[in-house]
Amino acid sequence: MKFDIELDKCVGAGVCAIAAPKVFDQNDDDGIIVVLNPSPSPDQEAAVRDAAVRCPAAVIKLTEQ
């Protein structure tokens, strides 16, 4: 799995960091998404999918491989 982030659309809700804390975090200044791991392991894929589905601004775009 790969993913792309549309930073300009992020609203800083933090759902991604809660759903997949080993992959995503938030910037301390404005809450915007920060990618901690651009290549998540297979055991983290479900959490990344959950983060993408729950994101209110739909900024996480998944690409299955």
The pLDDT score that the predictor gives to residue 64 is: 78
CA angle 11, 16, 19 (to 5 degrees): 150
Query: pLDDT category, 1, cuts 50, 70, 90?
Result: confident
Answer yes or no: is pLDDT of 65 > 80.
no
Rounded distance, CA 63 to CA 25, Å?
20
Q: How confident is the model over 3-59, as pLDDT tens digits? A: 999 999 999 999 999 999 999 999 999 999 999 999 999 999 999 999 999 999 999
Give the list of residues 6+ apart from residue 65 with CB closer than 8 angstroms, or none.
1, 2
Place of tokens 């299955």: 64
Complete domains list, the chain, with CATH = 2-63 (3.30.70.20)
The pTM of this model reads 0.93
Fill in the amino acid letter for 57: A
User: Taking a C-beta distance cutoff of 8 angstroms, is the pair 56, 16 a contact?
Assistant: no
